[in-house]
Structure 1
Amino acid sequence: MAQDILIIEEVDVRREDDAEDTRVFTINKMGLPALKRKTSEHTPGGGIGTVNYALPMIDALEPTFAVKGVDLDVLRKYGFTSGTNDKWIFAASLRNKKTNVLLPVRATIQGIICEWSPGEHTPGELLDCDHTMQEVKYYKLVVNNERIFEWDFYGRKWFNGDTDVFAEYRATLGA
């Protein structure tokens, strides 16, 4: 069966602990983090080529978002807020073009905004400000109330849907 065409139509970014902290009127772009497995290159001395072995790890997650204008909330709480990582909700409306049904998308991300990059100001135009989050230690992506992906650095958990990718590793270590 052919895959449905799914189009993101609206986005928002807000702090998880403050439902009123919406950027729905200022957000310009939202970038969920790329999921990339860590690999290790191996070229055997007697081999005929190189293999990049996929490891049971992912590379650092770096979500981004951009707003029109200056986001004073982000600047006031730049980096650490009360010495802890913030949890953010990246929300979107995803339209199934075949059925015309609108689906909710929610990504919960715990990390620190480590980069604030204001664009050049041009009179008569709104300033673009880019934000990059790093030190991400938790990421959960849910589409239409279905867990698609969940990763917890300190919990040593990694789920693809309902599959607990790291269960056997925790078990072998007795954790």
Structure 2
Amino acid sequence: MASTIYIMEAANLYCGDHDPANSKHLTLEELKLPDLQEVLVDHQPGGGKVGVEFAVGVEKLEPTFNLKGWDPVLLRQFGLGSRERRVFTAYGVVRDKRSGRAIEAKAVMEGRLSRIAPAAFQRGEAMSHEYSINEVLHYEVHFDGAEEMYWDFFTNTFRLGGVDPDPEFNNILRIGNAG
């Protein structure tokens, strides 16, 4: 397959279900999917000359987004006012720069709206708010209709490209994998 470049051109975020009232396409300024970062532990072997680090898991996921203006509906979904997790679904228009074809990128995140940080008000400028989604217990990424990443806390399911990279893990621990 010939090399290409994929460029994100536009994004939308649904905060909750796909009710058109939950679409943030008119106010979305910035969307940041969670960093994917392994947890590493250092090991200094007593008889070794060089230390190493071992991967032992993945850091918690924390997506963020910025919206222009005020959003009273999201304010009511904040933290202690709502103990339930919500589904946040992000859609992106990604352009294949070789062919010109528009491709759908989609991320589904289930978590709690745990941070709302208002920007400073400046006369003559539209105030915005930065939001953080924490307690993320489900995350999936799709590109051009294909599952690229899937993780679910409760079923302990993890897949990359639709494949579990470590199928023995849940089998050894006798964890039923409902994913």
Deviation larger for 11-20 or 145-154: 11-20
**CA shift at 1:146, angstroms?**
0.4
CA 1:88–1:54 in 2, change beyond 3 Å: closer, same or farther? same
Give the length in aligned residue pairs.
174
CA deviations on 1:86-145 (whole Å, 9 max, x unpaired) are 011011111111111111111110011111101111111111211111110100000111
Instruction: Give the TM-score, by structure 2 length.
Output: 0.91
Question: Which residue number corresponds to residue 12 of structure 2?
Answer: 12
CA deviations on 1:8-31 (whole Å, 9 max, x unpaired) are 111111134233111101000000
Between the aligned partners of 1:173 and 1:117, the Cα distance in structure 2 is 41
**Gapped runs of 5+ residues in structure 1?**
none
Between the aligned partners of 1:148 and 1:80, the Cα distance in structure 2 is 33
Between the aligned partners of 2:166 and 2:16, the Cα distance in structure 1 is 26
Structure 1: 4+ residue segments shifted above 6 A: none
Cα RMSD of the aligned pairs, angstroms, is 1.5
In structure 2, give the amino acid aligned to 1:29: E
Between the aligned partners of 1:158 and 1:43, the Cα distance in structure 2 is 30
Between the aligned partners of 2:159 and 2:150, the Cα distance in structure 1 is 5
**Gapped runs of 5+ residues in structure 2?**
none
Question: Which residue number corresponds to residue 48 of structure 1?
Answer: 49
Q: Check the 8 A contact 1:157/1:165 in 2, yes or no.
A: no
CA deviations on 1:36-78 (whole Å, 9 max, x unpaired) are 12211111122222211112x2110000100111121110111
Instruction: Give the TM-score, by structure 1 length.
Output: 0.93
Identity of matched residues, %:
26
Deviation larger for 98-107 or 39-48: 39-48
